[in-house]
Amino acid sequence: MLFCPLYVPIPIIVKVGFSHDLVNVFDRASDLTKAIKWGCFLPICIVAVPFAYRLEKWFHRRCRPVQVSVFKGSGSTETYPSPLALPVLAFMLFVWGLYFWAAGRAFGFDGLSWYRSFLIGLYLTFKQVLTFFA
């Protein structure tokens, strides 16, 4: 599993991480929250991909110069400015699109249409959250 949690009190900070399964993603987010003095990490995108550990290590090597360390402890060297997470999130959304397409092909429905509806729902939810806090 490749996951991307957002640091809640400072939303300009994200962490790109790897986990063996879905349960460990939330355990890992909990461990990260325990390592910081205030705030919490909230997973914003999770996707199962082959070779997730290698992808994570490749990303961390490439982005080492722009690491942001806002706390000490577990996961502190894997935090980055939020704009850097955009390519990771785009990759995750692309993989989710492939999963929807493959499911549509396997079960005889238009998976890309379902995926488009899913993305529109995410957009409208995000827009509603932003207008709530505005």
Predicted model pTM: 0.77
Total domains, the chain: 1
Q: What is the pLDDT, as a whole number, of residue 77? A: 79
> Are the C-beta atoms of residues 107 and 23 closer than 8 Å to each other?
no
Per-residue pLDDT band for 120 (boundaries 50, 70, 90) equals: very high
Residue 68 sits at φ, ψ, to 5 deg, of -120, 125
Q: Which two tokens stand for residue 64?
A: 């080492």
Winning range, highest mean pLDDT, from 24-28, 73-77, 88-92: 88-92
Domain interval for residue 60 = 2-133
- State the amino acid at position 12 in one-letter form: I
Q: Which two tokens stand for residue 82?
A: 């939020």
Residues 33-69: pLDDT tens digits? 787 777 788 888 888 888 888 888 888 899 889 888 7
Report percent pLDDT > 70 for the chain: 99
Q: What is the pLDDT, as a whole number, of residue 108? A: 94
Q: Which residues of 78-98 are buried (b: 16+ CB within 10 A; e: fewer)?
A: bbbebebbeebbebbbeebbe
Q: Which helix (H) or strand (E) holds 6?
A: strand 2-7
